[in-house]
C-alpha cells in the first residue's frame, strides 16, 4: 500500500520532516504498528497524519 501525508509533522522515530502531500515513508518500509498509529487518532497529535492512497489502474484505449 501507498500512503500520503495529510498534515505536516516530524516523525518521532527518525526525525524526518514530512509535509502535506508527501509520500510516507519517504524511503524503505515501516512497521505496521507505526502505520496504524499515524492513520488513527492514537498518536501524539490526536488526529490522522497519513492516509491510504488508492491506486488507480490505467486502462488502455482500445
Range of the domain at 45: 2-53
Contact 29, 37 (CB under 8 A): no
- Three cell numbers, residue 50: 497519513
- The answer to the question of residue 12 being in a domain is yes
Name every residue whose Cβ is closer than 8 Å to that of residue 32 and which is 6 or more positions away in sequence. none
- The answer to the question of residue 37 being in a domain is yes
Return d(Cα 14, Cα 26) in angstroms, integer: 11
Q: What confidence score (pLDDT) does residue 58 get?
A: 65
Residue 55: C-alpha distances to residues 4, 7, 13, 26, 44 (Å) = 12, 21, 27, 18, 29
Q: pLDDT by residue (tens digit) across 9-62? A: 999 989 999 999 999 999 999 999 999 999 999 999 999 999 999 877 666 665
- The answer to the question of residue 48 being in a domain is yes
Q: What confidence score (pLDDT) does residue 22 get?
A: 97
Q: What confidence score (pLDDT) does residue 60 get?
A: 67
How far is Cα of residue 38 from the mean position of the Cα atoms in its chain?
Answer: 7
- The answer to the question of residue 60 being in a domain is no
Q: What confidence score (pLDDT) does residue 55 get?
A: 76
Q: How many separate domains does the chain show?
A: 1
- The answer to the question of residue 59 being in a domain is no
Amino acid at each position: 500500500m501507498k500512503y500520503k501525508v495529510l498534515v505536516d509533522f516530524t516523525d518521532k522515530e527518525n526525525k524526518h520532516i514530512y509535509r502535506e502531500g508527501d509520500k510516507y515513508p519517504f524511503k524503505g518500509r515501516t512497521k505496521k504498528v507505526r502505520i496504524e498509529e499515524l492513520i488513527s487518532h492514537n498518536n501524539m497529535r490526536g488526529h490522522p497524519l497519513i492516509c491510504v492512497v488508492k491506486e488507480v489502474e490505467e486502462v488502455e484505449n482500445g
